[in-house]
Amino acid sequence: MKRNPAVAGTFYEAEESALRKRIEWCFHHKLGPGKIPKIGDKRRLKAVIAPHAGYMYSGPVAAHTYHEVAADGFPETFIILCPNHTGMGSGISMMSKGEWITPLGPVKIDENLAQELLEASGIIDMDESAHIGEHSCEVHLPFLQYFNQNFKIVPICMWMQDLETAKEIGNAITDASSGKDVLIIASTDFTHYEPAEAAYKKDQKVLEAILALDEDRMYERIYQYNVSMCGYGPVAASIIAAKGLGATRGKLLKYATSGDITGDSSSVVGYASVILE
């Protein structure tokens, strides 16, 4: 099965050369890391967090994550955990066969790892429908393809984001990934459509828990401060899996809001770039 791009031409450019220029713009933007990295071979990262809005808005923040991914060295497979914005598909939906197409080319699914994840968890379903129109996995692929075409993915879309579900997904990823060359990507934006000052205060509370690798405290703070973070389940599952794979700390690379791009601070979306190592 080929999964064609759903948001090429809206969230990012649909033509290859224009898309490459946009990605370079993200890296060189004043909110970005300021440079395009060389591919390294450290392989110390266990998981990363990146935003999934249009590149015009969140691309410079996302570039911080992908600067570290490239500098750390490419794994064989990325497990990408994303929220379900469309309502399509089952509670936990994984596309387990085929390839995803972007303007930069095809990306194959790691069918062997996908099968092992299905066997390790009783709640993951093979369900392509959740992914067909969902943007929050797709937008990460061109950033990866800019540096390397030789990798695979396992895309998992989480409509169910309660802590119990996140723990089961995280533990299944640990079990299936142990001994393999894998990096987890958690796709999320943070506070939605609040004044920039309020968004910053709320998001910092959640980020403190994430950087401490404390998924329970993260949920407590989301509920306590009513944080409209869309991918908290993917982040929690990534924290759990990362700890299972040996992560001991989180590091915040960049936080900004859409208001830092548009100049309108009255109603913003928060974006963060985080690594777990």
122: its two tokens? 């009783």
What pLDDT, on the 0 to 100 scale, is given for residue 259?
98
Q: What residues of the chain score a pLDDT lower than 70? A: none
Domains: count for the chain: 1
What pLDDT, on the 0 to 100 scale, is given for residue 137?
98
| Four-CA torsion 195, 199, 201, 207, nearest 10 degrees | -170
CA separation for the pair 184, 175 (Å, rounded)? 13
What pLDDT, on the 0 to 100 scale, is given for residue 270?
98
What pLDDT, on the 0 to 100 scale, is given for residue 179?
93
CA–CA distances in Å: residue 96 to residues 122, 129, 155: 15, 12, 8
What pLDDT, on the 0 to 100 scale, is given for residue 88?
96
107: its two tokens? 């990306």
CA separation for the pair 263, 261 (Å, rounded)? 6
CA separation for the pair 263, 155 (Å, rounded)? 34
Helix/strand/coil for 217: helix
Single pTM value for the model: 0.98
What pLDDT, on the 0 to 100 scale, is given for residue 267?
98
Report the CATH number that the domain containing residue 24 is assigned in CATH.
3.40.830.10
Nearby residues of 41 by Cβ (< 8 Å), 6 or more positions away: 73
Read off the DSSP letter of residue 10.
T
What pLDDT, on the 0 to 100 scale, is given for residue 142?
98
Domain hosting 135: range is 1-274
72: its two tokens? 């750390």
Rounded (5°) CA angle 73-39-238: 35
CA separation for the pair 124, 120 (Å, rounded)? 9
What is 195-213 written as a DSSP string?
-HHHHHHHHHHHHHHHHTT
Amino acid at site 8: A
Amino acid at site 235: V
Residue 30 burial (10 A CB sphere; 0-12, 13-18, 19+)? exposed
What pLDDT, on the 0 to 100 scale, is given for residue 128?
95
